[in-house]
Amino acid sequence: MKPPSGKDFVAPGLPAWFSRDWLRGLLLILAVLVTYQPVWYAGFIWDDDYHVTANPCIVGPLGLTDIWTTRAGHFYPLALTTFWVIHALWGLAPLPYHLMNVIQHAACGVVLWRVLQRLQVPGAWLGAAIWALHPLQVESVAWISELKNTQSCLFYLLTILFFLRWLGSGENGKNYDANYVLTLLFAALAMTSKSSTLVLPVVLFLAAWWLERRWQSRHLVLLVPIGLMAVIAAAITMWPQPAEMAFITDPQLMRTWPERIATAGDVIWFYLGKLAWPHPLLMIYPHWEIDVGRWSTWLPLLAALVGLAILWFQRGSRFRACFFASAYFLVVLSPFLGVLDQPFWRYSFVEDHLQYLAGIGPLALAAAGLVWYAGVALPGRGWLQTGLGASLVFVLGLLSWQRTWSYESYERLWTDTVAQDPNCWLGHNNLGAVYLQKGRVDEALANFQKALEIHPRYADAHYNMGEAFALKGDMDQAIVEYEKALEIDPNDVDTHDNLGLAFLQMRKANEAMVQFREALRLKPDDGNAQVYLTKAEVMARQNHPSPSR
Instruction: Report which of 224, 234, 220 is spatially closest to residue 191, judged by C-alpha positions.
Output: 234
The answer to whether 87 and 32 are in contact (CB under 8 A) is no
DSSP state of 409: -
pLDDT tens digits for range 186-245: 999 999 999 999 999 999 999 999 988 887 777 778 899 999 999 988 887 766 544 454
The rounded distance, in Å, linking the Cα atoms of 36 and 523 is 42
Give residue 549's pLDDT band: very low, low, confident or very high (50, 70, 90): very low
| Cβ pair 324, 206 in contact under 8 A | yes
Mean pLDDT of the chain: 90
Q: Return the pLDDT at 1.
A: 35
Q: Which pLDDT belongs to residue 177?
A: 86
Predicted pLDDT of residue 399: 98
DSSP string of 55-110, one letter each residue = -HHHHSS--HHHHHHSGGGTT-HHHHHHHHHHHHHHTT-HHHHHHHHHHHHHHHHH
Contacts of 316 (CB under 8 A, 6+ apart): none
What is the distance between the alpha carbons of residues 55 and 509, in angstroms, rounded to a whole number? 33
pLDDT at residue 65 is higher than 80: yes
pLDDT digits (tens, 9 = 90+) for 71-123: 776 778 999 999 999 999 999 999 999 999 999 999 999 999 999 999 999 99
**Contact predicate 386/15, CB 8 Å:** no
* In the predicted structure, residue 172 carries a pLDDT above the cut 90: no
What is the tens place of the pLDDT at every residue in 16-42?
555 688 899 999 999 999 999 999 999
Helix segments in 213-287, DSSP class H: 217-222, 224-238, 241-245, 257-276
Model confidence pLDDT, tens digit, residues 504-527:
999 999 999 999 999 999 999 888
Provide the pLDDT confidence category of residue 378 given band limits of 50, 70 and 90: confident
CA distance 312 to 322: 9
pLDDT value, residue 169: 77
Within 10 angstroms of residue 524's Cβ, the number of other Cβ atoms is: 9
User: What is the spatial distance between Cα 397 and Cα 403, in angstroms, rounded to a whole number?
Assistant: 10
> Lowest-pLDDT range, 55-69, 166-180, 204-218, 409-423?
166-180
Q: Find, among 220, 148, 221, the residue nearest to 191 by Cα.
A: 148
pLDDT (mean) for 521-546: 84
- C-alpha angle 266-248-142 in degrees, rounded to nearest 5: 60
Q: What is the mean pLDDT of residues 335-358?
A: 90
| 527 or 124, greater pLDDT | 124
SS3 content of the chain, % helix, strand, coil (to 5): 75, 0, 25
Report the alpha-carbon distance of residue 229 to residue 223 in Å, rounded.
Answer: 10
**pLDDT for 252 beyond 70:** no
Give the integer Cα–Cα distance in Å for 501 and 493. 12
Distance CA 177, CA 181 (A): 6
DSSP 8-state class, residue 50? I
280 compared with 527, residue with greater pLDDT? 280
User: What are φ and ψ of residue 45, in 5° steps?
Assistant: -135, 165
Q: What is the 3 state secondary structure string of 259-278?
A: HHHHHHHHHHHHHHHHHHCC
Domains and CATH numbers, the chain: 25-248+355-406 (no CATH), 410-543 (1.25.40.10)
Residue 4, preceding peptide bond in cis (omega within 30° of 0): no
CB 364 within 8 A of CB 299: no
Q: Please write the tens of the pLDDT for every residue from 128-152.
A: 999 999 999 999 999 999 999 999 9
Residue 548: the pLDDT is 44
Q: Which of 81, 82, 132 is nearest to 105 (CA)?
A: 132
Q: Which of 74-88, 172-186, 392-406, 423-437 has the lowest mean pLDDT?
A: 172-186
Contact assessment for residue 248 and residue 343, using Cβ atoms and an 8 Å cutoff:
yes
* pLDDT (average), residues 491-514: 94
Please give the C-alpha separations between residue 397 and each of 9, 75, 99, 266, 523, in angstroms, as whole numbers: 22, 32, 17, 28, 48
Distance CA 444, CA 431 (A): 7
Instruction: Look at residue 3 in the predicted model and tell me its pLDDT.
Output: 37
* CA–CA gap between residue 371 and residue 124 (Å, rounded): 10
Q: How far is CA 95 from CA 37, 100, 143, 398, in A?
A: 11, 9, 11, 21
Name the band, by pLDDT with cuts 50, 70 and 90, for residue 171: low
pTM of the predicted protein model? 0.92
